[in-house]
Structure 1
Amino acid sequence: MKEKLLLDVETYVADLLNKQLASTNYYHNTIHTRQVVAYILELAHTEDCTEEETLTLLLAGWFHDTGFINTDNGHEEESVKIARAYLSQENISEDTLNQIEQLILATKSEVAPNNKLESIIKDADCGHIASDKFLDISENLLQEMNAKNASNFSELEWAKQNLVFLKNHSFYTDSAKRNWQPKKEVLQLEIQKKIDKLITKANKKSKKTKFGRGVETMYRVQLKNHIELSAIADTKANILLSVNAIIISIALSNLIPKLDNPSNLFLVYPTLILMLFSVASVVLSVLSTRPKISNVAITKEMIKEKKTNILFFGNFSKMSLKDFEWGIDYLMDNEDTLYNSLTKDLYYLGLVLNRKYKLLRITYTVFMFGIIISAAAFIYSYYINMPA
């Protein structure tokens, strides 16, 4: 009789939920109902319930969520109506029906249990808390809430709500406290770790938003422009070096050997002026292209405190390979430090360019005035020494 009744009830409830339950019930469905019934059997056995008490609990467990076919709010009352309508035809006594009604109503989240049976069904209704599949089951509940309430909880918000729920939840039966509470505490730690990981991920994403593609493009373009300007400056300095080297070579090979002739003495001063300005131009050109290497020993603390830039070879050349690898890994893990290094690289490249172009301007000025003064000196010397 008992087994046949339970089998008939299982068939009826499963058919009812499968056919009439909304497709958005991802959590409150046949699967959840079967899980609750299984938890009731486990707790009824460990709590030494009588056969009659177990039957009453199982009947309440099968019907406790059937009201969802009609409504979400107040579904417990609807479940009671459905349970009474069916069980009254199965010759169930009024006392048992009343007891089943109280058990179904006891599954409300805000209701505290008044006796052992109510404690069992409430613990069974939350038995998934001690399940290894809690996170998957929780995702189903989230999906149901989002679909029905048009809510849109983020993964982090939902994890925080789960943690609050677990901290505020209490088991009522001794069996659940003994067997399920430790699993719940382990689950709390896992969810806390998940929250920490999600917060870290969100922070990294925030930093990525701060240092997005536009910022990366800016650094790339500016560094490229600085390098190209540096190459242009070196080319200009090389032109001056070449021109003045040719002038000095011609002067040394053609002009100076002729100065020992008394008739060519008027060329001494113009030649000296030309040589002087050419040598000055060469020296200034060399200074503009002369590299400057830092002698500061880089430490890990300097990298962490953003006091140096290890992306420049002049800085990391004094580091050991192990420290340099650590520094690069640190930059990859800390985008703010990485971009700070790029900023320093851009700044110091600008200082080098400023020095180069200042020296180049002086060099071209010296060369220009040198050529003019030398030419004027040669013309003047020829003029005053021309035969009458």
Structure 2
Amino acid sequence: MSEIIEKADNFILNLFKDKLPNSFTYHNYTHSKRVFKSINEIIENTEVSEKDALILRLAALLHDTGYIHTRDGHEEESVKIAKEFLAKENVEKDIIEGVENCIMATKFKDDPKGKLEEMIRDADASHFGKEYFKEASEFLRQEYLLQDIEEYTPREWRDENIKVLSEKHQYYSDYALKNWQKEKENNLADLLKDRKKDKKKLKKEELKAQLKAKYKDLSPERGIQTFYRTALRNHIKLSDIADTKANILLSVNAIIISLVLSNLLSKLDSNPYLVIPSAIFVVSSTITMVLAVIATRPNVTRGEFTKEDVKNKSVNLTFFGNFHRMELSQYQWAIDELLKDRNYVYSSLTKDLYFLGKVLDRKYRILRWTYTIFVIGIIISIIAFGVSFAVFDPVGVEEVTNNIVPPTQQ
């Protein structure tokens, strides 16, 4: 490596290290060295003068220095930086002009003019014909993404690469055509193969989604399952609500009876007119508690079935009360028979819904009577207490108060 080449190498290394943002994952020192290596391949296998070889090597190292200032028009900035650097190093003017022309030739918009421009253009795009093409291409996609230039999806980026390799790019030098063109075509073939596979996969997924949506809407099976699922869930919720209501009544009336027995029972001997109101109060609360217990009291059936019941489809295997005394093997056999017949499954679910409805009807009818008796009992008890105090003992309230207040405070 000549002295000026070594100086140029150190120059771009320090320049990129100090001034190039980290978001340049492709256009960086690594890319410049890759182009430098590729131009050396071409030079070593092509007849060029030492002067032309020097121009090409300097252009390869300096061609992307303009990225430290701008992306658009970076070639012009690279020329300015290269001219300033080479002038300081007292490089001959014709070499500087040659480097300038080669840097400007890396613009893909214009066709190269002359042998040197073709060679530098091929070196700059050498990764198209290399095994590391996909890796280098991915670095460029990430650079666009990090700098908010363009956000390509992997599929969109693959299509863009196909377009570039098949329509926009070509190799010019004999060496590139002989040694890199074949690998470029292999890379293009791999991209096309990936796109074909992706299209088949996408088409298959779209067809699957369409069929799924179609049969989801048209199949009555799903609607039937939704009906049973919703109906059973609603029945279970209503049963829970009924049990909760019964438990509330049990708790409230248990507290009422405890208070009545602890506070009023000791006053009945001295205040006999309170017997009837207290009795009404206690009896209504007791009846309420009994009805609440009856409403929530479970009924367990015999829990057995025969093979004839299963074959005749007369037993509901979804309710535990019909099989809780059976052996596991017998129940497993019955379930296997059930699952063989879809109509039997739906029939069992229908029976389960029906009998759950019957249980709910019984619970809510008893609860209705329970709440009615509780409310009527409270009202009648209050009226009875009022009548007793007003008719039988006009000053009863005062006497009761005197009995309650301790002697030290009377």
Does TM-score exceed 0.5, indicating one fold?
yes
Deviation at 1:177, TM superposition (A): 0.7
Aligned-residue RMSD, C-alpha: 4.1
Structure 1 residues 149-164: aligned runs within 5 Å = 149-164=148-163
**1:59 paired residue number:** 58
Deviation at 1:132, TM superposition (A): 1.1
Deviation at 1:89, TM superposition (A): 1.6
**2:225 paired residue number:** 222
Distance 2:349 2:14 in 1: 86
Distance 2:344 2:149 in 1: 59
Deviation at 1:97, TM superposition (A): 1.3
Structure 1 residues 281-296: aligned runs within 5 Å = none
8 Å contact from structure 2 (residues 102, 117) kept in 1: yes
Deviation at 1:82, TM superposition (A): 0.2
**2:194 paired residue number:** 194
Matched, 1:183 2:186: no
**1:94 paired residue number:** 93
**3-state secondary structure, aligned to 1:166:** helix
8 Å contact from structure 2 (residues 42, 175) kept in 1: yes
Query: Structure 1 354/53 Cα, relative in aligned 2: closer, same or farther at 3 Å?
Result: same
Distance 1:59 1:150 in 2: 29
One-letter code of the match for 2:225?
Q
One-letter code of the match for 1:104?
I
**3-state secondary structure, aligned to 1:5:** helix
**2:279 paired residue number:** none
8 Å contact from structure 2 (residues 16, 68) kept in 1: yes
Deviation at 1:134, TM superposition (A): 0.8
Which protein is bigger by CA-based radius of gyration?
2
Deviation at 1:68, TM superposition (A): 0.1
Q: Which segments of 5 or more consecutive residues in structure 1 lack a partner in the other structure?
A: 230-238, 246-282, 290-312, 315-344, 360-388
Deviation at 1:72, TM superposition (A): 0.3
**1:126 paired residue number:** 125
Structure 1 residues 286-365: aligned runs within 5 Å = 349=342
**1:173 paired residue number:** 173
User: C-alpha deviations, 1:220-249, integer Å up to 9, x for none?
Assistant: 9939959xx9xxxxxxxxx9x98xx9xxxx
Deviant stretches of 4+, over 4 Å: 200-212, 218-221, 223-226, 283-289, 351-359
Deviation at 1:356, TM superposition (A): 8.5
**1:318 paired residue number:** none
**TM-score computed with the length of structure 2 as normaliser:** 0.53
Deviation at 1:151, TM superposition (A): 2.6
One-letter code of the match for 2:26?
Y
Deviation at 1:198, TM superposition (A): 3.3
**1:325 paired residue number:** none
Q: Percent identity?
A: 30
Deviation at 1:61, TM superposition (A): 0.9
Distance 1:42 1:357 in 2: 79
**3-state secondary structure, aligned to 2:2:** helix
Query: Structure 1 15/222 Cα, relative in aligned 2: closer, same or farther at 3 Å?
Result: same
Query: Structure 1 352/151 Cα, relative in aligned 2: closer, same or farther at 3 Å?
Result: farther
Deviation at 1:195, TM superposition (A): 2.0
Distance 2:101 2:81 in 1: 14
Distance 1:76 1:208 in 2: 50
Deviation at 1:201, TM superposition (A): 4.7
8 Å contact from structure 2 (residues 228, 349) kept in 1: no
Distance 1:163 1:204 in 2: 23
Deviation at 1:75, TM superposition (A): 0.1
Query: Structure 1 221/202 Cα, relative in aligned 2: closer, same or farther at 3 Å?
Result: farther
Deviation at 1:17, TM superposition (A): 1.0
Query: Structure 1 25/208 Cα, relative in aligned 2: closer, same or farther at 3 Å?
Result: farther
One-letter code of the match for 2:81?
I
Query: Structure 1 131/352 Cα, relative in aligned 2: closer, same or farther at 3 Å?
Result: same
